[in-house]
Amino acid sequence: MAVSFPEKSGGLYSIRFQVGTKRREFKGKPEDSFWVMAGPDGVEVHREEEKMKEARAKAKEAGKSSHVIPLKFVSYEEKIGMEKDAKAGGVEVEVDNSVVVVERKDAVAGRQNLIFSTPQRPQVLSWDVGEIRFYTPAAGGTEVGPFRVGETFAFEGKEFAVVGREGKKIRLQHRSDPEKGKDFEVPPEAPAVPAP
């Protein structure tokens, strides 16, 4: 999911979320809370928790998995300055590097900066919202999931959080462990070993 800050006007700021060709925008101001739901049909943005819950229940009824990312629009900082443009022969031009700060409130909690983006200067963050499935050979083999980065789940009485993906390696956090917060990696499925 591509996340960007493409528009500002009259004290309201747009944050765009795009999955494939489908996109939705949140227009608001600092201190606003909202929810982004990523699923197989694209992305939805909700300002009200009840509307988000209804949308998620509807997706579940249709057999479609989704992940909701709770967000807070933390702040806006205006940063307009002059920079030399090499393409224009070193002439100084006005550049808008204003920043919107959003805070994720899921398992990938933290603040992220979105720099003002125009078609000539695209500034995009990439959030992984693809499905992740685990296979455990215990009890004859079981598939667990689908989950997405930022989602928490229970397995064998313990709580885990999916906190990242690098290639085919998935990073989990064991939330039930006394050393809460320590990450570990789940490797991709190994190829079957031929019988001797």
CB 25 within 8 A of CB 17: yes
Give yes or no for residue 192 having a pLDDT over 70: no
Question: Which residues does 81 contact at the CB level (< 8 Å), separation at least 6?
Answer: 94, 95, 97
Cβ atoms of 149 and 129 closer than 8 Å: yes
Establish if 165 belongs to a structural domain: yes
Q: For residues 45 and 61, give the distance between their C-alpha atoms in angstroms, rounded to a whole number.
A: 19
Q: How many domains does the chain have?
A: 2
154 & 109 share domain = no
- What confidence tens digit (pLDDT) does each residue in 155-180 have? 888 898 999 998 888 999 888 876 65
Residue numbers of the domain that contains 152: 132-186
What's the pLDDT tens digit per position in 97-122? 999 999 999 999 999 999 999 877 88
Same domain membership, residue 85 and residue 41: yes
Pair (54, 100) in one structural domain: yes
Three-state DSSP state, 43: strand
Q: Which of 81, 103, 126 represents a domain boundary (last residue)?
A: 126
- What local confidence, expressed as pLDDT, does residue 162 receive? 93
State pTM to two decimals: 0.84
User: Mean pLDDT throughout 57-77?
Assistant: 91
Clarify whether residues 10 and 93 are in a common domain: yes
The answer to whether residue 196 is domain-embedded is no
Say how many residues make up the chain: 196
Tokens 């988000």, residue located: 52
Q: What is the mean pLDDT of the chain?
A: 87
For range 177-187, the mean pLDDT: 71
Say whether both 113 and 136 belong to one domain.
no
pLDDT band at 67 (very low <50, low <70, confident <90, very high): confident
